[in-house]
Amino acid sequence: MKDTTVSHSDLRKLSAEDVRAAIRTGSYTGHTAGLAAGKLQCNLAIIPEQFALDFLRFCLRNPKPCPLVGVGDTGNPLLPTLGRDIDIRSDVSKYRVFENGVMQAEVTDIADIWQDDLVTVALGCSFTFENALLRNGIPVRHIDSGKNVPMFRSNIDLVPAGPFAGQMVVTMRPIPEAQVEQAKSISSRFPQAHGAPIAIGDPANIGIADLQQPDWGDAVTINPGEVPVYWACGVTPQNVLLDAKLPICITHSPGHMLISDVAEDAETTILKTS
């Protein structure tokens, strides 16, 4: 892999296929917020087949943080219903590799650690509805600032399944007070991308102590007249997987999503499994 030679701004107007090509060659290893407008972005969980059924049950029981959009065949790194040329071993800009719940590496390619018993589970991402917010004149602070979205642990309990349980992770976006209801309405049309917000206003109500100290991503400014709005986040299943201490688990690095070829419009997209 070569060093990063393409900037985020270079990729903003390129197609999903072209963005993945830059990622696959190692030319881009940054976050994917704001890239491939109009295309569904996905969180990833790559786990051994023996745990896959319980994890799928967990996702179905917790659809807000874990909206299921694709499942690969055992041992097959391709996801043809999400993109004609997707190879999950190389098409994410940054992965995290865990063993027994402990992170072992953060890498840009997983071909050398791929196993024949691995199953890829793809989950929708809130980056998808951000384009709709922008199209409707609602600011998205982290995109405007060239940052990753701020993510926080919450105190919201999840419905368990097998070894999988825990609390929800949320993303936060400051929204002008006059546009909060519009943001709720727009995001509710994207159930495959976490849907409507799960909380609005005081972060203490969902167990967040300080909005300037995110657990993942970057802190953003909250201007006068703006309200913090919280959406369910795809880092949730990553945390749950770590707590389950699987022998091996591979995820996206927070903010570094798989970009699919599937249209993000919830009214026309038919969600399939690979």
Q: With beta carbons less than 8 A apart as the criterion, state whether 51 and 242 touch.
A: no
| Tokens (6 digits) for 137 | 């004149």
Evaluate whether residue 109 is within a structural domain: no
Stated as kind and residue range, the H or E segment containing 241 is: helix 235-244
Residue whose C-alpha is closest to residue 163's, from 255, 240, 103: 240
Task: List the pLDDT tens digit at each of the 274 positions of the chain.
Answer: 445 588 999 998 899 999 999 999 999 999 898 888 888 889 899 999 999 999 999 999 999 999 999 999 999 999 998 998 899 999 999 999 999 999 999 999 999 999 999 999 999 887 778 888 988 999 999 988 888 889 999 999 999 999 999 999 999 999 999 999 999 999 999 888 899 999 999 999 999 999 999 999 999 999 999 999 999 998 899 889 999 999 999 999 988 999 999 987 644 343 444 4
Provide the domain limits for residue 207.
Answer: 127-235
Q: Which residues neighbour 56 within 8 Å (Cβ) at sequence distance 6 or greater?
A: 68, 71, 121
Read off the CATH number of the domain in which 218 is found. 3.30.2040.10
Domain assignment present for 103? no
Instruction: Write the single-letter amino acid at 54.
Output: D
With tokens 């926080």, the residue in question is 152
- Domain membership of residue 254 (yes or no) is no
In angstroms, rounded to a whole number, what is the distance separating the alpha carbons of residues 72 and 82? 10
Kindly state whether residue 172 falls inside one of the protein's structural domains. yes
What local confidence, expressed as pLDDT, does residue 268 receive? 37
Q: What is the pLDDT of residues 189-211, one digit of tens each?
A: 988 889 999 999 999 999 999 99
Q: What is the pTM of this model?
A: 0.85
Considering the domain boundaries, does residue 41 fall inside one? no
H or E segment to which residue 68 belongs:
strand 68-71
Is 246 a domain residue? no
Give the pLDDT score at 267.
Answer: 40
Classify residue 212: in a domain, yes or no. Answer: yes
Number of domains in the chain: 1
Is 165 among the domain residues? yes
Cα–Cα distance, 31 to 14 (Å, whole number): 15
Our measurement of the distance from residue 230's CA atom to the centroid of its chain's CA atoms, rounded to an integer in Å, reads 14
